[in-house]
Every structure is written in C-alpha cells, then in structure tokens.
Structure 1
C-alpha cells in the first residue's frame, strides 16, 4: 500500500457540533496546529467533494509549515445537511471551527467549487481574522459568462438553480449506488474514469498518471461526497448558479487575494477569472500557460502554498 493511501486510510475526520446542532466534519493536513510558526489555512474543497481533497497540498504544506484545516461542506460526507443554506452561511461555520481550534488569524484556499466560499468568507469575515486567500481554478458568478465551458458544468449551472431535485435524482441514480458498493469499489472508479474521458488531454494525463495522487484522492473525495445521496451536492450546484447574496464588485483585496488559473481550463474558462480579477479591487490573477483544471494544483502546489504563506507573514 502506498504512503498516500496509508495516510488517507488513517486520517478519519473530526466532528464539530455547531451551535445549531449540525455536525461539521473536518481533517487537518500539513503540520499540526500546535507546530511553532505554523500558518493556519482553511482549505475549501471542490464540487462535489470532501476534506480528502486537501491531501493534494499536504506535502507542500508540510514543507512550508502550514496547517491545512479542511472542513467538508453541509450535505456531503459526514457533514450534516443545512436546510436552505446560502453561500453566506458558510463563514459562520468557518468561524465556529476557527474558534473551536483557538485560531485567531488564518488564511483560506478554495479549489474549483471552493472558490465561491473563499469569496463569501472574504466578504463576511474581518481582515483581522482572515488575512489572506487564494483561489485555484475557481468558479465565479455565472453572469460573467459561461462561454468556453464544458457542456456538463454549463448545464449544471443552468439547471440546478431551477430544478435541484432533478440534479439530486440524477446524482443519486448515477453515482450513489456505486459509491456505497464497498464490495466492488471498482464500479465507482469506473464511473470517475469514464467522466474523465470527456476532458481535455491535459487533464486526462494528470488523472491517468495519478500525478500527486490526484486520481486516488479525487475518487475518494467524490465517493464520500455522494455516498449519502445527491441532495447535498444538488443544493450546492443550485447555489453556484444562483444569486450569491453579495456582489464580487464589493470586495476589496488589497493584494491579499491571489487567483491561480490555467489557460486551458474548460471546467471554468480563464475568461471568468480574468473578468472577476478586474471586478475585485486589488485581486491578483496568476494565469498559468498550458494548465487545465486538474493539473494546476498538482504542478503548482509549492508555489501556491509559498505565495499564500508570504502574504500571511508580511
């Protein structure tokens, strides 16, 4: 068994009981929080996903003395559903977890579908607490334009706001049964493999080679996210394509929000990131030539962690 698989098998999520009685599942990667000089950083996973995705940055975080606190969002994995939740409900969960762990100042990283949650936290959490943030191949508001986006994500953002029940039914029928079939885990892996067949070559190559454990991690993260059914992921998709409850034009970044994006990304075309970076005052866009949606976090892990750490210590 690989060291990656050992660490994933041994790392069970913690559960925090929130003020409203919900459970919030989370895990900690990188260095322990009690490590001297560590930079506590919240990691917000993609869609649909769980805390497992933070494993992609685990080794880079260890090398740079960063603690990655990775919560799983409501309705996925072991985190309790939150009826009628909105994007701006998430900062309260993050603050509850930060207070529970005695973290006064922290950073945040959001990958893909975790990007909107970084922006929600940036809007709602004071800079005295959330001091810097990074978005990696992140999703931005749909009104910025979906041109160049793959058919699947584009349809999800279009349908989910109006018919989340339809998305939930599709996910439950297509993925849940395979996700909970523990006697035949290869069934779910096959579904994931087939989904990747429609992606660009640059993404398929990263997945097929399991670079940085990408395939192993994403299979486990997605499997856990949909094992409880499609309702949680479907509601999340609804939030992505709906009114976010704030305008990104309201945000002030002051050079402390970095946006990494590959120029070959078709899950979230770089044009969305370019428009968003112009609307968020002081945001810094870091386009990466030759990268798609999957490889960016693998190939640029050290730079992503290092650049965020520098923002936190200056």
Structure 2
C-alpha cells in the first residue's frame, strides 16, 4: 500500500469550526484545494504523493454546512475569498495558490478575484463555470446536477429527501451507488472508477451529507445564482485543465471562464481522452502549472 501523509483536523475560524484535510509536505508551499458538489474534504488522497514530490502542502477544507464545517448562513461565492483569508490566518499561511475541482472552481475563482496579493496562482480541474443567461450554458452538464439545481429551486423538500435517500443507499450498498454514478460518465471515467474500491470512492459523498442536505443544497443554489465576482480583479495566472471527454462539465465552460478573465490571464490545457474523474491522474501537471513560472 502506498504510504500516505494525510492529516484530518478541525480548526476554529472566527468562532466557527472548519474541517480540513492536509496532504503532501506539511512544511511545503501551501495550496488550497476546493472540493466539488456533492463532495467534501475526504477522498483527495490523489494529491498526496504528487504534492510531496513537489514540496507542496495541499489543504482541503469543507465549506459551510459540508462535512465537519459549521454552517455559515447567507454565504456567497464572492464572499468565500474572505473565508479563505481568515482560515489562512489561523493556519499561519501567508501566500498560497488554489485549485478548484469541478464545482469547487467558482470558489477558487473567488479567491483569485478577492484575495489580492496573497494569492500566487489559480488552477481549475474540470472547473464548473456560471450557468447564467449565456446561451447553452447548461448544455453538456451532468443530468444529475441539472436535476438537483432544478429541484433545489422548484421542490426543495423533494431534493432534501432525495439526498437523504442517496446517502442511506450509498452507505448500504456503495457498489450500487458507483454503478448509478457510472451511468452518466464517459468511458475514461468508468475505467477510472473500475480501478478503485467502491466504498472508498464514495466516502466523500457520505461525508458531504453528514449534517444533512442543507449544505449541499446551498452549493447548488450558489452555483446556479449570480456569482458577483469582480472578474477584472484577477491579476495572477489561471490555469484551466479540462478533459475533452468530460461528461459532467463540458469544454465550453472552460472557454467561457477564460473569456471572462482579463486578457492574458487564463490558459486552457485541453486533455484528450480525459474525463471528469480521470483528470485526477493529471494532478501533478496541475500542481506543476501553479509552481512553474
């Protein structure tokens, strides 16, 4: 078994508990990794060995109401930059880079726009873009995510019941839960899942719902609503890694994000034969892009 250096802990930030895991070199240059939705800090061991090899400390916090982090009423995407700065202060971190994975992308972009000179760079891994009034913004997104967005807005009680049932079913039969997820994945992602134990693969989802469905439902509301980001404030590079065979977040999201950023800021890395989950195999390239001038 691969030797892993993983720390799971809770810290107090402005009176709230924030749960986080740390991977890689505990004395290395800090990189915050923001999880997707429905997701949590758990299951990010794929960052550990690449981070150690590069002398990086990868910090993965749960957002408000997710996993072990206390809820934060009225939280916003734009306001997340302030939350991360407060967490960084508690951890003794001065300057840092960020990685946004999937629906963690908006929160990495929040830091890019709102953390000023303390941020050294930003990377997106299959990062979800805004689903606003842009024509075709929702085309190619995972049907399960689109259903969740719709139910959260139109039938929130039904979505809450569905998420509770999905958590129970995942705990009872993780292999069946993986099969359900696989039904909307591309071939590279199905092959990726086949290499991993089913129970281990779904712990991130069960943990996301530890406190109930409210935190996950908030995430969908925030993604589907106005982000209120000051895109023009982004001054550091944004490295956008996107699989060409991603069946959950399509390439046009990467292109749209790049178009909103200041000229010369964004660079899209198109990964042929790579999906939404199998992009984890390329995390070393993502970390290299953050640390190589």
> Mind listing any 5+ residue stretches in structure 2 that lack a counterpart?
none
Give the whole-Å Cα distance in 2 for the aligned partners of 1:172 and 1:92: 31
Match of 2:152 among 160, 170, 177: 160
For residues 8-23 of structure 1, the aligned pairs below 5 Å read 11=6, 13-19=8-14, 21-23=15-17
Q: Does 1:139 align with 2:122?
A: no
| Paired position in structure 2 for 1:182 | none
Instruction: Classify 1:83/1:189 alpha carbon distance in 2 versus 1 (closer, same or farther; 3 Å).
Output: farther
Match of 1:104 among 77, 94, 107: 94
Match of 1:31 among 15, 20, 25: 25
| Paired position in structure 1 for 2:79 | 89
Deviation at 1:221, TM superposition (A): 1.1
Q: Structure 1 length normalisation: TM-score?
A: 0.85
Match of 1:271 among 236, 252, 256: 252
Tell me if structure 2 keeps the 8 A contact 1:161–1:241: no
> Mind listing any 5+ residue stretches in structure 1 that lack a counterpart?
180-184
Deviation at 1:110, TM superposition (A): 0.9
Q: Structure 2 length normalisation: TM-score?
A: 0.90
Deviation at 1:247, TM superposition (A): 5.4
Instruction: Classify 1:242/1:162 alpha carbon distance in 2 versus 1 (closer, same or farther; 3 Å).
Output: farther
Give the whole-Å Cα distance in 2 for the aligned partners of 1:174 and 1:302: 32
Deviation at 1:107, TM superposition (A): 0.4
Tell me if structure 1 keeps the 8 A contact 2:102–2:125: yes
Deviation at 1:295, TM superposition (A): 0.6
Deviation at 1:265, TM superposition (A): 1.2
Which deviations, in whole Å up to 9, do the C-alpha atoms of 1:206-265 show, x marking residues without a partner?
Answer: 01122xx7x5654111121123321111111111111112254x34345x1100001111
| Paired position in structure 1 for 2:51 | 61
Give the whole-Å Cα distance in 2 for the aligned partners of 1:42 and 1:222: 20
Q: Does 1:305 align with 2:287?
A: yes
Length, aligned pairs only: 288
